[in-house]
């Protein structure tokens, strides 16, 4: 597999009066060509800051990339000048946000907004860009492109606007598309349509996607791999199968336990993770999740756990993986939650897993 992105020891901080907010604290991950990586975690865990850093969209001041490498096709983006980054942003790498209006210009016709990156980055003529913009609108599922191109953002519904943002993001066939909670602001039916659209588009064009969500429920549907973030770090990473069927980190168990599901049988047992995320100005020493974990051991309050390898694709940052740690099983509800995975999601066979009749 070819790595399109390789992020190494990324640290991002915000310098505030109250102190240095260490929003991202040593993040390592990679993205393979054409794959979808989901980044999940509670609000405040550093998902947006991590991905904004990749695009070099951290406002400075107060923010800064403190340390680390962002290797894109082997080239480090961290030290690039704004001018060099402008050639990459929107062309090689695009980002879409929760609220499509943050990306759209309310005063400009949709057609022009789609044509702009095509003329700037692809050097298309006005006529060529117009033709391509119409094609892109059809590709993202909007009818009557010629008429639509003359309209302004407010003349579209929320779901349609997000489709337009996706069209703009994909206009230059980027190698990487970052989608930061792209469906959170939309109602459930429209959410499903947008996710379906992203899946379809990914098959057609070979873009690698980083899909950020706080909702593990959508992950099984869209992702190949998952990175679980907590307190500015990745605490577990694995294939979708590994994360749903063989999760190892207590925080991942917590996220799975609190995953809302249409299956009402065990709704009553759903539980939110107790406590609150760590203070990032004074991050706890040891395992940042220890204060909230019923499985915490003495060492968790003293020393940060290393990253343990479970398989070639599965890594866990928890002392529970130490060979001398007591063996603990995930809570029952984590197993029950598998029932609420999408119907077309087939149970994988993983090493050490018994047959599950759920």
List contacts with ligand ADP (CB under 6 A): 14, 16, 21, 23, 41, 43-49, 59, 62-63, 280
Taking the least distance from each CB to ligand ADP, the nearer of 48 and 191 is 48
* 39 binds, options ligand ADP, Mg ion, none, Cβ within 5 to 8 A by partner type: none
Taking the least distance from each CB to ligand ADP, the nearer of 228 and 256 is 228
57's tokens:
């969209």
Most distant CA pair in the chain, distance: 67
Instruction: Please report how close the Cβ of residue 280 comes to ligand ADP at its closest, in angstroms.
Output: 5
Q: Beta strand 3-16 with 63-72: parallel, antiparallel or unpaired?
A: antiparallel
* 255 binds, options ligand ADP, Mg ion, none, Cβ within 5 to 8 A by partner type: none
304's tokens:
């940060």
- DSSP three-state, residue 324: coil
> Residues with Cβ < 8 Å from 201, sequence gap 6 or more?
139, 140, 166, 170, 207
* 231 binds, options ligand ADP, Mg ion, none, Cβ within 5 to 8 A by partner type: none
Q: Beta strand 233-239 with 225-230: parallel, antiparallel or unpaired?
A: antiparallel
Q: What are the residues binding Mg ion (CB under 5 A)?
A: 47-48
Q: Strands, DSSP E only, in the chain?
A: 3-16, 19-32, 36-40, 63-72, 75-76, 93-96, 176-180, 208-213, 225-230, 233-239, 308-309, 315-316
Q: Residue 22: count other Cβ atoms within 10 Å of its Cβ.
A: 22
Instruction: Please report how close the Cβ of residue 288 comes to Mg ion at its closest, in angstroms.
Output: 18
Taking the least distance from each CB to ligand ADP, the nearer of 61 and 354 is 61
Minimal CA–CA distance to 277: which of 265, 267, 264, 288? 288
Instruction: Please report how close the Cβ of residue 205 comes to ligand ADP at its closest, in angstroms.
Output: 26
Taking the least distance from each CB to ligand ADP, the nearer of 41 and 100 is 41
* 260 binds, options Mg ion, ligand ADP, none, Cβ within 5 to 8 A by partner type: none
* 257 binds, options ligand ADP, Mg ion, none, Cβ within 5 to 8 A by partner type: none
Instruction: Please report how close the Cβ of residue 41 comes to ligand ADP at its closest, in angstroms.
Output: 5
Query: Which residue's Cβ has the minimum distance to Mg ion?
Result: 48
349, 354, 357, 358: CA torsion to nearest 10: -80
* 218 binds, options Mg ion, ligand ADP, none, Cβ within 5 to 8 A by partner type: none
* 147 binds, options Mg ion, ligand ADP, none, Cβ within 5 to 8 A by partner type: none
Instruction: Please report how close the Cβ of residue 44 comes to Mg ion at its closest, in angstroms.
Output: 8
Would you say 162 and 103 are in contact if contact means Cβ atoms under 8 Å apart? no
> Residues with Cβ < 8 Å from 357, sequence gap 6 or more?
none
Instruction: Please report how close the Cβ of residue 62 comes to ligand ADP at its closest, in angstroms.
Output: 5
Taking the least distance from each CB to Mg ion, the nearer of 43 and 344 is 43
């Amino acid at each position: 597999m070819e790595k399109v992105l390789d992020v190494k020891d990324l640290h991002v901080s915000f310098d505030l009066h109250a102190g240095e907010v260490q929003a991202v604290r040593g993040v390592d991950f990679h993205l393979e060509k054409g794959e979808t990586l989901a980044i999940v975690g509670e609000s405040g865990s550093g998902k947006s800051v991590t991905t904004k850093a990749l695009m070099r969209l951290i406002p400075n001041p107060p923010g800064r990339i403190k340390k680390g490498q962002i290797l894109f096709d082997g080239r480090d983006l961290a030290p690039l000048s704004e001018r060099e980054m402008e050639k990459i942003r929107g062309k090689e790498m695009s980002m879409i946000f929760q609220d499509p209006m943050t990306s759209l210009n309310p005063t400009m016709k949709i057609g022009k907004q789609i044509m702009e990156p095509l003329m700037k980055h692809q050097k298309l003529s006005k006529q060529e860009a117009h033709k391509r913009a119409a094609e892109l609108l059809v590709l993202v599922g909007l009818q009557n492109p010629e008429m639509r191109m003359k309209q302004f953002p407010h003349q579209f519904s929320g779901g349609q606007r997000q489709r337009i943002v996706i069209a703009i993001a994909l206009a230059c066939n980027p190698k990487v598309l970052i989608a930061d909670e792209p469906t959170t602001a939309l109602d459930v039916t429209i959410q499903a349509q947008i996710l379906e659209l992203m899946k379809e588009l990914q098959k057609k064009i070979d873009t690698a996607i980083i899909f950020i969500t706080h909702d593990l429920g959508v992950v099984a549907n869209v992702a190949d791999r998952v990175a679980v973030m907590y307190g500015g770090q990745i605490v577990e990473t694995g294939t979708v199968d590994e994360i749903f069927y063989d999760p190892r980190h207590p925080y991942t168990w917590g996220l799975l336990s609190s995953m809302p599901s249409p299956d009402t049988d065990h709704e009553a047992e759903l539980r939110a993770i107790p406590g609150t995320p760590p203070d990032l100005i004074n991050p706890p020493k040891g395992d940042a999740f220890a204060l909230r974990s019923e499985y915490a051991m003495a060492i968790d309050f003293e020393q940060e756990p290393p990253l343990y390898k479970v398989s070639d694709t599965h890594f866990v940052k928890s002392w529970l993986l130490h060979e001398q740690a007591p063996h603990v099983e995930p809570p029952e509800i984590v197993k029950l939650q598998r029932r609420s995975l999408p119907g077309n999601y087939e149970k994988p066979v993983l090493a050490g897993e018994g047959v599950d009749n759920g």
